[in-house]
Structure 1
C-alpha cells in the first residue's frame, strides 16, 4: 500500500473515532450536523466494488438515543452512474458466509411499479429474526419486519433472480432481498426514500436504486441500510444511511433479540 493510501486510511479512521467521541457529548441535531460534516470527508466520491468502503466505514458508527433516524452520505449525492442503466433487471448480492443479506441494485422503470395489495405472506426468517409484540406508547407493535432491501412495490415483473418477466408480480420471500428490520425503520424511515423512487418511476423516469445492509462484524441483525438512487435525468438523487432502530426498544444486534427501553428515542430529521 502506498504512503498516500495509508495516510488517507488513517485519516478516515481518526474521523470515525471523532464522531464516536462527539456522540458522547452532543445530542440530536448537533450530532446529526457534525456526523454529516465528518462523514462527507470520509466517504469516497465513487464506489466500484460490491462491498464498498463506504459501507465498511458506516458499520463503525453507533446510534445514540435521540439521534436522527437517518444521516446523509456524500452530501446526499448518489455515487451510482446513471449511464449504467441499460435494461430492466435487479442484481442481487449473494448471502454471505453467515447467511446474511448483502445488497440489491435495481435498474427500474415505470413497468416495475406494482400495487402493494398484491403481496402475499412471507415465511423466510432472515438472520437475527426474533419477532415479538410489545406495547409502545399505548400501542401494540410487532417490532420486527421482514424488510425488503428493494421495496416490493418497485420490483414488479422480476423473477427471483432479478430477470425481467412480465408474468411476475414482485419480489416476495426472496432471501436475497429480505433482512430483519425494525417496524419503525421499515414502515416510516425507509418509506421516505421508497416513495421518492416510486414517484420518479410514476413520472416515467428510469432509476438505478441500490440498498445495502450494514452489519457490525458478525452481528446477525443490520445496524442500518445504505440507500441511494439516481434517475437517468438526474432529477432523483439521494444517498442516505438509515438506522435500523425502534423508539422504546433496544436491540442486541449480535443476535437480534430485544428489550423494552422507554428512554430510547429517535428524532425526526
Structure 2
C-alpha cells in the first residue's frame, strides 16, 4: 500500500511540474509514461538485488533437508544455514573435550561431532602422521597427479591437539586427530582444502586469540549413500564474536560423483572458488 501511495504522489508531482512549465497534455503524458517506466525498472532492479543477495541462503535446517539439496554446476558451493547464525548455545561450554558420535550401521559418520575447544587444542602441523584408514565411499582418483579425494576431518587435525580417541583431553597427545574413523569421511579435495579450511581457520584464529569455542561439524548423507552430499559446519565462541553456520557441498570441479558408492567420472562440473579460499590443506 505504501509503495502504491508513494508512486501516486510521485506521478502527481510530475504532472504539477509539467503544468508549471506549460507542457501540453500529450507532452505531460509522455513525461508520466517515462517516469513510470523508470520507477518500474528501479523496483525490478531492487528486487533482483534482493534475490541475488539471498541466493546462497537456505530455509533447510535439518540434516534431512540439507541432504535433499542438489548442487547445480556453477552455483555457490557454500550455503548459509539459519541466516549464517549458529544454533549452538555458548553456555554449554564446560570442559575441553570432543564428543565423537558413534558410526552408524553403515559405518558412516552420519551424526555430528561436537568439540569444546580452547587455545591448547591448536596443533602443530609438523606432527601430522600419515592417514591410513578408509572412510565409506572411498574410491580415490587423480586428475593428473592431483588426488580428487581427501580423508576429510570433521574436527580438523589443526583443532584437535591433545584430544584422545575417547574425546577427552590428554596432554601427552601432542598431535591432532588423524586416523579416528569417528572423525573422518570421504570428502573432495576442493571441499576440504578450498572451502572447509576457511571456517577451520576462523575457529583456529579465535582459539589463538584466547577464546573458547564450540564447533560442530556434521557430514550430511542422503539415505544410505556412502559418500556425503556435503558437510554442515557451525561454531560459536563463548563471547559470541565468532558465529557461523554453513553447509558446504561435497563437490569437485570437472568430476561428477555417484554418492551411493563414492565413485566418480570426469564431467562438466563448474565449482566457483571462494575469493578467500586458501591453498593449503587442514
TM over 0.5: yes
CA-to-partner distance for each residue in 1:99-128, whole Å, 9 max, x for gaps? 001321100000101112211011110000
CA contact (8 A) 2:71 2:77 kept: no
Q: What pairs with 1:68-147 in structure 2 (closer than 5 Å)?
A: 68-102=76-110, 103-135=112-144, 140-147=145-152
CA contact (8 A) 2:254 2:270 kept: yes
The answer for the alignment partner of 1:33 in structure 2 is 54
Residues 188-199 of structure 1 aligned to structure 2 (within 5 Å): 188-199=194-205
Asked if structure 1 preserves the Cα contact closer than 8 Å seen for 2:227 and 2:260, the reply is: yes
SS in 2 for 1:193: helix
The answer on 1:206 being equivalent to 2:215 is no
- How much has 1:178 moved relative to structure 2? 0.4
> Structure 2 matches for 1:222-261, cutoff 5 A?
222-261=228-267
- Larger gyration radius, structure 1 or structure 2: 2
* Correspondence for 1:163: 168
Segments of 5+ residues of structure 2 without an aligned counterpart are: 1-49, 275-282
The CA deviation at 1:203 is 0.1
Distance 2:178 2:197 in 1: 18
Q: 1:59 to 1:227 in 2, by over 3 A?
A: same
Report Cα offsets for 1:151-199 as digits up to 9, x if no partner: 0001001101101100012112000000000000111100100000000
Partners of 1:61 and 1:115 in 2: how far apart?
36
Q: Given the alignment of the two structures, is residue 181 of structure 1 paired with residue 187 of structure 2, yes or no?
A: yes
Runs of 4 or more, structure 1, over 2 Å off, are 29-35
Provide, for residues 32-77 of structure 1, a one-character-per-residue CA deviation record: whole Å limited to 9, x for no partner.
83461xx23x43xxxxxxxxxx111101111111111211000100
8 Å contact kept, 2:194–2:273: no
Query: How far apart are the structure 1 equivalents of 2:166 and 2:207?
Result: 21
The farther-off stretch of 225-234 and 93-102 is: 93-102
- Where 1:166 maps in the other structure, the secondary structure is coil
Q: Distance in 2 between matches of 1:31 and 1:104?
A: 33
Corresponding residue number in structure 2 for 1:149:
154
Q: d(CA) in 2 for partners of 1:145 and 1:69?
A: 17
197, 206, 227: which one pairs with 1:221?
227
Distance in 1 between the 2:52 and 2:181 partners?
A: 34
Alignment check: 8 A CA contact 1:32 1:68 kept: no
Question: Matched residues in 2 for 1:215 and 1:93: separation?
Answer: 15
Q: Which runs of 5 or more residues in structure 1 are unaligned?
A: 1-28, 44-53
Between the two proteins, the alignment pairs up a number of residues equal to: 223
Please report how far the alpha carbon of residue 224 of structure 1 lies from its aligned counterpart in structure 2 after TM superposition: 0.2
Note the aligned Cα RMSD (angstroms).
Answer: 1.5
TM-score (norm 1): 0.80
Q: CA deviation at 1:268?
A: 3.5
Give a deviation string over 1:243-265, Cα, whole Å, max 9, x none: 1100011111000000111x201
